[in-house]
Amino acid sequence: MSLSRQWSALIAEIRTLDGFADFRRPLTAAELREAATDGPVVAFNVARSRCDAIVVRPNTVTPVSLGGLTAVDIHRIALRYVEAIERHQTHLGALHEARTEAAATPNATTHRAYQRAAHDELSAEAAMQDVLTATLAWLWDTVVEPVFKACGLSGPPPPGTAWPRLWWCPTGMLTLLPLHAAGRHTELGHSAMDRAVMSYAPTLRSLLESRSSTAGSPGGPMLLVAMPHTSGQADLPQVRREQRLLGALFGTEGLTTLEGPAASREDVLRAMRGHDRVHFSCHATSHPTRPAAAGVLLADGLLSVAELAADHQPRAFAFLSACKTGLGGIVLPDEAMALSAALHFTGIRHVIATLWSVEDKAAAEVTESVYRNLFAEGTFAVEDAALALHRAVRELRARSPERPSSWMAYTHTGP
């Protein structure tokens, strides 16, 4: 009690100082509404009694009743969605191990084990595609389309007009679901990405702070963290392709590369302090019960969310071409501790990430498309990050709408 009184007295004293009158006070509703300056921000109320979307605009806050949505349904569908992805990831890992064993010790036994692993991976992949397709359709019908209609986004924007912007600020188990990819993608115009450019914001306050960040157009070199080979993990052939792409776009003096043994945890953290844009081309991992234990896998181990979040400074851009950088925990889903959200909280305005392990070829294609869009006018237009990703993903989806796993995993967090 004595410490509590000291704390309260200290806060009261700080608030008497010039410029600190609102120190540690919550933002007012009017201040929070400023987060919607460039487009509506959609938060959610998820409860057993009822579920609503809360559409925040500069002058209004409008509730949208989601009568077909229940907390029980969200929990059931989110678990099915995560389990299908994790099951496929497990079989992918088993296939990698069987392939490695068959190459190291080629005989009938290892060959049969490899064939079984390949069959199991294909079955798990097919099952995952079915779950993803069903999840996206359910999200569209139950959550996203009602919100879009309330926001006046009843169809694709007319040709030649600017794309509308919208931010998702999900809560509870909705934080696990891909609101940005919702839709019936075999039906033209019946999907979220056909109607708006979307981003995520962990909180309205984080979106406000990122907009007021001092980091403007990025200057200086891009930091590339490249791990084509990682102990205990499958090789990443797309790393070389991304290296060549960034080298061609940024030039020798515009690119700082930490590769392989040089990409240690300490060296990467040190280098990040001197760069306001970074590209991770490596493996990453999520943790279902301890989100802060997630991170990127470097030469000497895991650089965790907790370590990255502890190093707060304004930066402009991060591209996480790594698996499972956007997926948070299932036990504490409200904790904004996915790697993408953690980096956003450390002061990085724009973070592009993936929700799970993505196919090498698709990952390289999206990366190349994003950067070429950002360099379309000859300079690195970092503030167009969300639009560049939107274009890249729609191009990939156009080729295989029936395989959502190849294009739906990409997210943008930030203004």
Q: What is the mean pLDDT of residues 8-36?
A: 91
DSSP 323: T
Provide the percentage of residues in the chain whose pLDDT is more than 90.
53
**Per-residue pLDDT for 55 more than 50?**
yes
Q: pLDDT for 220-245, tens place per residue?
A: 789 999 998 888 777 788 888 899 99
Instruction: Give CB contacts under 8 A, 24+ apart, made by 210-213.
Output: 210/344, 210/349, 210/414, 210/415, 211/35, 211/37, 211/415, 213/314, 213/347, 213/349
**Per-residue pLDDT for 338 more than 80?**
no
Closest to 326 measured CA to CA, from 121, 85, 90: 85
**Given CA atoms 315, 349, 342, 282 in this order, what sign does their dihedral have?**
negative
What's the token pair of residue 347? 């002061």
**Per-residue pLDDT for 285 more than 50?**
yes
What's the token pair of residue 224? 């590339």
Cα–Cα distance, 321 to 311 (Å, whole number): 21
Closest to 355 measured CA to CA, from 386, 324, 334: 324
Q: What is the mean pLDDT of residues 9-25?
A: 92
**Per-residue pLDDT for 278 more than 60?**
yes
Model confidence band, residue 259 (pLDDT cutoffs 50, 70, 90): very high
User: Mean of the per-residue pLDDT values for the chain?
Assistant: 87
Q: pLDDT for 84-98, tens place per residue?
A: 988 998 898 899 889
Location of structure tokens 């099952």: 127
The confidence score (pLDDT) of residue 186 equals 86
Model confidence band, residue 412 (pLDDT cutoffs 50, 70, 90): very high
The confidence score (pLDDT) of residue 336 equals 43
The whole model's pTM is what? 0.88
Low-confidence winner among 93-97, 280-284, 341-345, 378-382 (lowest mean pLDDT): 341-345
14 membership: H or E segment, kind and range: helix 2-14
**Per-residue pLDDT for 107 more than 90?**
yes
Return the percent helix, strand and coil in the chain, to nearest 5.
45, 15, 35
Cα–Cα distance, 74 to 170 (Å, whole number): 12
DSSP 378: S
Q: pLDDT for 198-223, tens place per residue?
A: 999 988 988 888 887 654 445 678 99
The confidence score (pLDDT) of residue 155 equals 87
Q: What is the mean pLDDT of residues 289-318?
A: 81
The confidence score (pLDDT) of residue 295 equals 83
Residues facing residue 321 across a β-bridge: 281
Q: Which CATH number, 3.40.50.1460, 3.30.70.1560, 3.40.50.300, 3.20.20.70, labels domain 215-413?
A: 3.40.50.1460
Model confidence band, residue 330 (pLDDT cutoffs 50, 70, 90): low
Residue ranges covered by each domain of the chain = 71-200, 215-413
Of 262 and 291, which is predicted with more confidence?
262
Low-confidence winner among 27-31, 220-224, 344-348, 350-354 (lowest mean pLDDT): 344-348
Task: Show Cβ contacts of residue 242 under 8 Å, excluding neighbours closer than 6 positions.
Answer: 224, 226, 279, 281, 321, 364, 367, 368
Q: Where are the alpha helices (DSSP H) in 140-235?
A: 145-150, 204-211
Q: Decide: 274 and 258 in contact? Cβ < 8 Å.
A: no
The confidence score (pLDDT) of residue 327 equals 54
The confidence score (pLDDT) of residue 377 equals 81
The confidence score (pLDDT) of residue 112 equals 94
The confidence score (pLDDT) of residue 202 equals 86
Q: What is the mean pLDDT of residues 98-113?
A: 92
Q: pLDDT for 365-392, tens place per residue?
A: 899 999 999 998 888 888 999 999 999 9
DSSP 345-378: HTTEEEEEEESS---HHHHHHHHHHHHHHHTTTS
Residue 149, sorted as left (phi over 0), alpha (psi -120 to 50) or beta, turns out to be alpha
In degrees and rounded to multiples of 5, residue 257 shows phi and psi of: -115, 130
Residue 373 one-letter amino acid: N
Q: What is the mean pLDDT of residues 192-200?
A: 96
